[in-house]
Amino acid sequence: MLVVSAHLDDAVLSWGGTIAGLTRRGVRVVVLTVFAGQGGDPLPPYAEQYHSWWRASGTAAGTAAAGMRLRREEDARACAVLAAEPAHLDLIEALYRRRSDGSPRCAAGDDLFSAPEPDDLALVRAVAGVLAGWVAELAPGEVHAPAAVGGHLDHVLTARACAAALRGGPPVRWYEDLPYALEPPEPGTPAAGLGPAAASPLTGGDWRRKVEAAAAYRSQHPMLWDDDWPDRLLAHAREAGGGTPAERHWAALPSPNGDH
C-alpha cells in the first residue's frame, strides 16, 4: 500500500490505526510525505511564530533546516512504531513557501486555509508528476490519500495531485484528515461535499500503536492540541465507529468546490 501524506504527521494522526492493521497482517506500507522539504532562511514571519512556539515547548528548531530535520526524525520514529516505511519529498509546505514575487504565501493563520493561487496550481501539476512516478515504481495494490477535510491548503493540493496522478490507476481510499475533522466542516470546504463515509474498525492493539506513533510528533503538539489529545482522538474514533474505534474514509473524492 502507498499512503500519501501532505505533512510529516498527517497520515499517522489520521490513518495510523489502519496502517498498523495493514502491517500487522504483513502488508508492506510506504508512507510518502509530499511537503517535507526544507524552507529557506530567513523564515517568513508567520513561520517564525511557529518556531517560537517550538522553542517555548523545549523543542530546538531555530532555523528551517533544523525544524525539518527534527520533523523528519519524528516521522521516522512514528513510522517505525507502525512498521511502515517513511519516504519524504523535498517540496516546501505552505508555511515556508514564497510567491514568485518573493512575498510569503502565508502571512497569517487564515492563509493556510485559503484558496489555491496560480503558483499553488502549478505545484499541483508538479506533485502529480512525482506521485505518478512513485506509483509506477511501487505498483501498489491500493493508494490511501487525504480527503482534504478542513480545507488546509497543502491537503487540498495533495488531494488534487493524487486525483490527477491516480486517474485510471489503482483503487484509492480518501482518508479523513485529523485534527481538522474534529471541527464541524464549514460550507464550501471539501468535507461538505464528501457524502457518507465508510469506517475501518480498529483493534485495541492497532489503536494503541497509533497513539504511540502520534506521540512521536512532539514538536507539533503545542500547535495542534492540549495534553488531552489522546482522549480527543479516541472520542472521535469511537463516534466514527459507533462505539468501537474506527477511521473514516471515502471511495471517491468530489470535484473541487467552493473556495477550494
**Domain-embedded: residue 135:** yes
**Domain-embedded: residue 258:** no
The residue segments making up the domain with residue 221 are 2-250
Phi, psi at 55, each rounded to 5°: -65, -40
**Domain-embedded: residue 59:** yes
What one-character DSSP code corresponds to residue 139? -
Q: Can you give the pTM of this predicted structure?
A: 0.92
Grid cell digits, residue 105: 504565501
| CA separation for the pair 240, 251 (Å, rounded) | 16
- Other beta carbons within 10 Å of 184: 7
**Domain-embedded: residue 30:** yes
**Domain-embedded: residue 22:** yes
pLDDT of amino acid 79: 98
| CA separation for the pair 213, 75 (Å, rounded) | 9
**Domain-embedded: residue 54:** yes
pLDDT of amino acid 210: 97
Look at the chain and report how many structural domains it folds into: 1
**Domain-embedded: residue 259:** no
* CATH code for position 200: 3.40.50.10320
| CA separation for the pair 163, 258 (Å, rounded) | 18
Q: What is the mean pLDDT for each group of 10 consecutive residues in the chain (260 residues)?
A: 97 98 98 92 84 67 77 96 97 93 93 95 95 96 96 96 94 95 66 77 97 91 77 94 96 57
**Domain-embedded: residue 256:** no
pLDDT of amino acid 88: 97
